[in-house]
């Protein structure tokens, strides 16, 4: 019973840590996105609340919590209340199978940096994402609003359609790694960037990666596939009638889904927490160098700041960055911090791609959207899968 207790205890602790980190990330992802888009459009973005708008998420959360929670008349009440809950749950649940790093030892316990490892982890994520459709569809339908209904219908059709190329794109790297467990998937990509599935195997999965990313954009209802919430056609799509925390739930579900697909792409194609080159070549020094450069830059700009406020804040950031750079050199934490860094860096890169695309591309027309997946994406993914499977069969004979 000792073991069981400690197992349950560790799981609860891990879940709590993951939940806390995830919630913070969700909140700050919104800030990062606004900043990125602002800089793409050459404007400063959030700047007022806290230094460089860093406290903006906190302000947003307070605003959403304190807003009046409207219940419009003539809605289907149970489903109207169920929908945001469903969307949120299904979005968060898939995080539980995502591994963030290798096995670590904290004091007396050894544990994986992952909530749970399923033999069918990939299928689990697919299942959760396919259940996520209900949240949006029900929200659209139960609102008793034609814009919401059209948004819900569009969304469910779009998500079912893009799930096909997505699954096919996922299947191809699975063939190469020969497992459905996400942890083993990462471990099969050990040994540098050329062993990552995107470049490795009899048939490098670049095409598969691109198809996966496109489908991921559509699955998360992001630009250029954000038809379900196209504001100039449908007001706000399926969440037109939602306000306050229910609205925030959809918002968080969307960002959580983004994190999930980014993490999944990292795990499937980019080698998960594996460093792109070996330690002998200095892989363990990369985060130190990056943070040191960032700290030095901040210090430099703090010394030559144009505005008064920056004179105070930038040096603080500089010192913090240098401190982080120093932490990465400590051998005590290095062994679990480095994998985490690589995982976060890769996932963050893909998240940045999401934001970059949002700032750049216009929206699709609905028929183009459906035509694109059925007539182009699906055949391409199919072809890629066929070629991959033939080559895998050929080389593992």
* Site for other proteins, rule CB under 8 A: 76, 79, 82, 118-120, 123-124, 126-127, 130-131, 133-134, 137-138, 140-141, 149, 152-153, 156-157, 160, 163, 180
- At closest approach, how far in Å is the CB of 78 from other proteins? 8
- At closest approach, how far in Å is the CB of 30 from other proteins? 28
State how far the Cα of 53 lies from the Cα of 48, in Å rounded to an integer.
5
- At closest approach, how far in Å is the CB of 71 from other proteins? 19
Return the number of the residue (76 or 313) whose C-beta is nearest other proteins. 76
Cβ partners under 8 Å of residue 96, min gap 6: 15, 18, 115, 116
Length of the chain in residues, anyone? 397
Return the number of the residue (80 or 291) whose C-beta is nearest other proteins. 80
State how far the Cα of 97 lies from the Cα of 272, in Å rounded to an integer.
13
- At closest approach, how far in Å is the CB of 134 from other proteins? 7
Closest CA to 17 of 87, 100, 88: 100
Return the number of the residue (138 or 207) whose C-beta is nearest other proteins. 138
DSSP element (H, E) containing 126: helix 121-142
- At closest approach, how far in Å is the CB of 212 from other proteins? 17
Question: What stretches of 181-285 show up as alpha helix (H) in DSSP?
Answer: 182-187, 206-219, 231-234, 244-269
Return the number of the residue (125 or 267) whose C-beta is nearest other proteins. 125
Please name the residue that has the structure tokens 């391409």. 380
Return the number of the residue (27 or 153) whose C-beta is nearest other proteins. 153
- At closest approach, how far in Å is the CB of 163 from other proteins? 8
Return the number of the residue (140 or 272) whose C-beta is nearest other proteins. 140
State how far the Cα of 250 lies from the Cα of 243, in Å rounded to an integer.
10
State how far the Cα of 253 lies from the Cα of 70, in Å rounded to an integer.
20
């Amino acid at each position: 019973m000792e073991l069981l207790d400690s197992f349950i205890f560790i799981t609860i602790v891990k879940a709590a840590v993951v939940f806390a980190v995830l919630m913070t990330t969700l909140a700050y992802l919104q800030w990062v996105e606004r900043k990125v888009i602002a800089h793409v459009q050459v404007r400063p973005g959030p700047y007022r609340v806290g230094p460089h708008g860093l406290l903006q998420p906190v302000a947003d959360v307070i605003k959403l919590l304190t807003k009046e929670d409207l219940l419009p008349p003539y809605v289907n009440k149970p489903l109207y209340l169920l929908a945001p809950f469903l969307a949120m749950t299904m979005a968060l649940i898939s995080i539980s199978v995502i591994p963030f790093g290798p096995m670590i030892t904290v004091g007396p316990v050894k544990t994986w940096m992952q909530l749970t490892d399923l033999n069918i982890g990939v299928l689990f994520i697919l299942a959760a994402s396919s259940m996520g459709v209900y949240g949006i569809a029900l929200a659209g339908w139960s609102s008793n609003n034609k814009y919401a209904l059209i948004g819900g219908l569009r969304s469910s059709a779009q998500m079912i359609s893009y799930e096909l190329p997505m699954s096919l794109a996922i299947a191809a790297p699975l063939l190469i790694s020969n497992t459905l467990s996400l942890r083993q998937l990462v471990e099969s990509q050990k040994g540098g960037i050329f062993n990552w599935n995107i470049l490795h195997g009899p048939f490098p999965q670049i095409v598969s990666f691109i198809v996966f990313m496109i489908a991921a954009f559509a699955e998360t209802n992001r630009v250029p596939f954000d038809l379900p919430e196209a504001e100039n056609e449908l007001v706000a799509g399926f969440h037109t009638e939602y306000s306050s925390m229910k609205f925030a739930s959809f918002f968080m579900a969307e960002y959580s889904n983004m994190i999930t697909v980014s993490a999944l792409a990292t795990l499937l194609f980019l080698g998960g927490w594996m460093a792109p080159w070996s330690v002998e070549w200095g892989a363990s020094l990369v985060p130190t160098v990056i943070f040191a450069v960032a700290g030095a830059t901040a210090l430099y700009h703090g010394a030559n700041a144009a505005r008064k406020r920056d004179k105070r804040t930038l040096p603080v950031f500089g010192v913090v960055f240098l401190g982080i750079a120093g932490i990465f050199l400590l051998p005590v934490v290095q062994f679990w911090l480095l994998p985490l860094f690589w995982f976060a860096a890769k996932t963050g890169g893909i998240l940045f791609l999401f934001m970059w695309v949002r700032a750049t591309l216009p929206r699709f027309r609905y028929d183009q959207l459906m035509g694109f997946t059925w007539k182009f994406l699906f055949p391409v993914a199919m072809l890629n899968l066929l070629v991959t499977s033939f080559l895998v069969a050929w080389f593992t004979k």
